[in-house]
């Protein structure tokens, strides 16, 4: 139906436009005519960066003018390479990889990207909380059963959550959706909603700074500043049966914002398959 109703916006490009579009003359002319690009010149994909090389030469003491701080000189010289290269995550230099053998990876559920649509009652019926997904062999080695509660620990913190096994997860890694966990009462949700009692965030396991060198440095890519969300190393263990069947940590309930209608607004959030159910989460 989307294709039928929007056929006016469709355009099927001829075969000669289907390859090497950054250099394809026919496609570049077409893109300019459609207003996608201001010019039809070739799109150059630069691998060598003069800008990065300028920073590195300064850190190496080979240029005049502004210089990096002394305590960051070696960092700039090492990572501001003008050509792409791979380096081990910075956290590995200050973490016992044997004690924390798993790489933790987070993704965003398409339905709740950046927590948006958490108030959508239809989507909440599909998934109102997240799990930690691991390979069956990893769960078995840790003594955690499918659907059971477990602790996920890094050098920097820990969370308690529910675990699901899947052979689609690479052994040696764990992953979860990282947008569903909420503070109690947030987003107009009931204080005991799944998002706060079963949902969780891996942010509690990630440090903003790392104890490297003579002080602390940002736990981020040295060039772009991108936070090291994918670099944290963790381990898992089963939660005790007598522990609370809710995620940890829990924070104090978020009070309603001024002017919010409270119960009336929550009724809309709790809409359920064609009928209202009051304040049910």
C-alpha to C-alpha distance for 40 and 75, rounded to whole angstroms: 40
Which tens digits make up the pLDDT trace of 242-280? Answer: 999 999 999 888 887 777 665 555 555 555 555 544 444
Same domain, 210 and 101: yes
Q: Tell me how many domains the chain contains.
A: 2
Q: Do 187 and 173 form a contact (C-beta atoms < 8 A)?
A: no
pLDDT at 111 (0 to 100): 74
Give the closest residue to 129 by CA, choosing from 112, 152, 146.
112
Give the pLDDT of residue 38: 94
Q: Are residues 77 and 161 in the same domain?
A: no
Question: Domain check: are 54 and 99 in the same one?
Answer: no
pLDDT digits (tens, 9 = 90+) for 209-219: 999 877 788 99
Three-state SS for 281?
coil
pLDDT tens, position by position, 62-113: 999 999 999 889 999 999 999 999 999 999 999 999 999 999 999 887 777 6
Among 59, 87, 115, which residue terminates a domain? 87
Residues 59 and 162 in one domain: no
Average pLDDT over the chain reads 86
Cα–Cα dist 103/134, whole Å:
11
In a domain, 22, yes or no: no
CATH number, domain at 156?
A: 2.40.40.20
Question: Does 4 fall in a domain?
Answer: no
Q: What is the pTM assigned to this prediction?
A: 0.77
State yes or no: pLDDT of 181 exceeds 80.
yes
**pLDDT 10s digits, 194-214:** 999 999 999 999 999 999 877
Q: Is the pLDDT of residue 222 over 50?
A: yes
> Do 76 and 176 reside in the same domain of the chain?
no
Q: What SS3 class is residue 161?
A: strand
* Within-domain flag for 197: yes
Task: Give the range among 11-25, 137-151, 163-177 with minimum mean pLDDT.
Answer: 11-25
Q: Which residues contact 30 (CB under 8 A, 6 or more apart)?
A: 13, 17
Q: Are residues 149 and 128 in the same domain?
A: yes
Give the residue from 37, 71, 87 where a domain finishes: 87
Percent of the chain clearing pLDDT 70 (strictly above): 86
Tell me whether residue 17 is in a domain: no
Terminus-to-terminus CA distance in the chain, angstroms? 33
Are 74 and 140 within one domain? no
How many CB atoms neighbour CB 87 within 10 A? 11
- Work out the average pLDDT over 119-146: 90
**Gap between the Cα atoms of 164 and 127, Å rounded:** 14
In a domain, residue 277? The reply is: no
- 4 pLDDT higher than 80: no
User: Which structural domain, as residue segments, surrounds residue 66?
Assistant: 50-87
My answer on whether 114 and 248 are in the same domain is yes
Is the pLDDT reported for residue 116 higher than 70? no
């Amino acid at each position: 139906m989307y294709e039928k109703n929007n056929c006016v916006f469709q355009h099927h490009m001829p075969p000669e436009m289907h390859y090497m579009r950054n250099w394809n003359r026919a496609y570049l002319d077409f893109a300019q005519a459609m207003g996608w690009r201001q010019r039809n010149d070739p799109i150059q994909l630069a691998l060598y960066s003069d800008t990065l090389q300028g920073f590195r030469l300064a850190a190496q003491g080979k240029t005049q003018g502004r210089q990096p701080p002394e305590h960051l000189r070696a960092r700039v010289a090492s990572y501001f390479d003008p050509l792409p290269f791979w380096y081990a995550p910075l956290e590995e230099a200050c973490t016992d990889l044997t004690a924390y053998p798993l790489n933790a990876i987070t993704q965003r559920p398409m339905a709740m990207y950046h927590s948006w649509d958490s108030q959508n009652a239809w989507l909440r019926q599909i998934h109102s909380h997240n799990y930690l997904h691991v390979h069956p062999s990893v769960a078995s080695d840790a003594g955690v059963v499918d659907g059971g509660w477990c602790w996920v620990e890094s050098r920097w913190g820990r969370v308690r959550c529910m675990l699901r096994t899947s052979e689609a997860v690479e052994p040696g890694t764990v992953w979860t959706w990282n947008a569903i966990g909420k503070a109690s009462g947030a987003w107009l949700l009931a204080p005991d909603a799944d998002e706060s009692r079963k949902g969780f965030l891996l942010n509690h396991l990630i440090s903003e700074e790392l104890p490297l060198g003579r002080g602390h440095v940002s736990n981020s890519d040295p060039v772009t500043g991108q936070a090291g969300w994918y670099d944290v190393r963790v381990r898992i263990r089963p939660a005790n049966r007598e522990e609370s069947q809710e995620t940890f940590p829990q924070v104090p309930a978020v009070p309603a914002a001024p002017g919010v209608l409270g119960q009336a607004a929550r009724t809309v959030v709790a809409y359920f398959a064609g009928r209202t159910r009051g304040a049910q989460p």
